[in-house]
Amino acid sequence: MSTSDDYHSDMNRTNLTSEQAEALISGTAPVLHGLERLAMVIDALRNDESAELDEALVDRIVRGAIVRVSEPAHQDPALGSLGRGHRVGTSVRSLRRRITTVAATVALLFGSGSVVASAVDGASPGDLLYGIDRALEAVGIGNGGAAERLEEVEQIVADGDVVGGLQHAAALVAGAVDETAASPGNQAASAALASAAQRVKATRSNQADTTRTEVGALLDYLAENIGHVDGRKVAELSRLIGNEPETQPQDRGQGPVDPPGQSKEGAGNPNPGPPSPPPARDRKAPK
């Protein structure tokens, strides 16, 4: 690790890498020269809320919690919780998938979906509406901009997960480019991206240079056309990924295609479904 003035200057000019950012946040590596002030801000942030609470507030919360916990449960127990360590069975996943479909349909009916979002965004884990809430955010309603989401796609691809990047791009085109997400062009483009992800997965071409070049061309197009993406152009670029033959049904312009999120689980997919969550990390008990 350099501590020279030249390196200091370089750090001040260049962007952080993902590894440098993670090291700063997790505190797992010495702070690079030139990043000391940023590290101090992170340290202050980590220790900002010291062990000082209003005693009356604690008493009030404790009393309220005891009353609440003694009340009979009134929520659908099948939905359970959504975090790590919680049991969510296949039937629950199926229910959540149906809720997602319903949410997408309702969002289409209501245009931008903002009415739906405002109705459900107060949901918490275990609430019936919680799945809808997450589904709305997953397609980009009310949270995050298109440019930022495109960078997320690029980061996912850079991390070696081309399939995941394409699936993320499908969600981006379907819901986060602008509020005309329900247009046939965007739906076709989203489905084409999801189909490309399926092909890359099926052909195991995740790391092939040609695949990455083709995905790069698609991302370049998206980056240059945020806000006015041509669904046909996206579909055209997507078809090149994984060398899909020109006679595939999706080649017929903006015709019938699987909605995003469904095609990847269709017939012929040797490995359907999302990846399993990583194992729990060891972590210190509360501070």
Partner 1 sequence: MTAGHHQIEPTNRGPWSAEEFGGLLEAAKSGADWAWRRLVEAYSPPLLGYVRLRGAVEPEDVLSEVWMAAATSIRRFDGDEPAFRSWLFVIAHRRAIDAGRQAGRRPQPSASTGFDGLASRLAASAESTALEVISSEQLADLLSHLTGDQRTVIALRIIADLSLEETARIVDKRIGAVKALQRRALDALRQRLEHASVSS
User: Which residues in the 107-136 window bind partner 1 by CB under 8 A?
Assistant: 118, 121-126, 130, 133-134
Instruction: Supply the DSSP string of 137-176, one letter for each residue.
Output: HHTTTTS--HHHHHHHHHHHHHTT-HHHHHHHHHHIIIII
- Which is nearer to partner 1, 71 or 246 (by Cβ)? 71
Out of 1, 4, 73, 227, which residue is the one contacting partner 1 (CB under 8 A)? 73
Out of 2, 105, 155, 243, which residue is the one contacting partner 1 (CB under 8 A)? 155
- Which is nearer to partner 1, 111 or 144 (by Cβ)? 144
Task: Tell me the C-alpha distance between 61 and 132, whole Å.
Answer: 29
Out of 103, 156, 169, 193, which residue is the one contacting partner 1 (CB under 8 A)? 156
Question: In the bound complex, what is the minimum distance in angstroms from residue 221's beta carbon to partner 1?
Answer: 19
**CA distances (Å), origin 150, targets 136, 141, 172, 273:** 18, 15, 7, 23
Q: What Rg, from alpha-carbon coordinates, does the chain have? A: 23
Out of 113, 164, 231, 242, which residue is the one contacting partner 1 (CB under 8 A)? 164
Question: In the bound complex, what is the minimum distance in angstroms from residue 262's beta carbon to partner 1?
Answer: 18
Task: Please choose, from the candidates 106, 175, 111, 101, the residue with its C-alpha nearest in 3D space to the C-alpha of residue 140.
Answer: 175
Asked whether 270 and 276 are in contact (CB, 8 A), the reply is no
Out of 3, 81, 94, 225, which residue is the one contacting partner 1 (CB under 8 A)? 81
Task: Please choose, from the candidates 125, 129, 126, the residue with its C-alpha nearest in 3D space to the C-alpha of residue 116.
Answer: 129
161 near partner 1, rule: CB under 8 A? yes
Asked whether 186 and 173 are in contact (CB, 8 A), the reply is yes
Q: Map the footprint of partner 1 across residues 40-69, applying CB under 8 A.
A: 40-58, 60-62, 64-69
Task: Tell me the C-alpha distance between 273 and 219, whole Å.
Answer: 24
Q: Map the footprint of partner 1 across residues 239-278, applying CB under 8 A.
A: 277-278
Asked whether 263 and 198 are in contact (CB, 8 A), the reply is yes
Question: In the bound complex, what is the minimum distance in angstroms from residue 67's beta carbon to partner 1?
Answer: 8
Please tell me the count of residues contacting partner 1 according to CB under 8 A: 95
Point out which span in 31-39, 175-183, 185-193, 257-265 binds partner 1 (CB under 8 A): 31-39
Quick note: the x/- pattern for partner 1 over 200-239, rule CB under 8 A, is ----------------------------------------
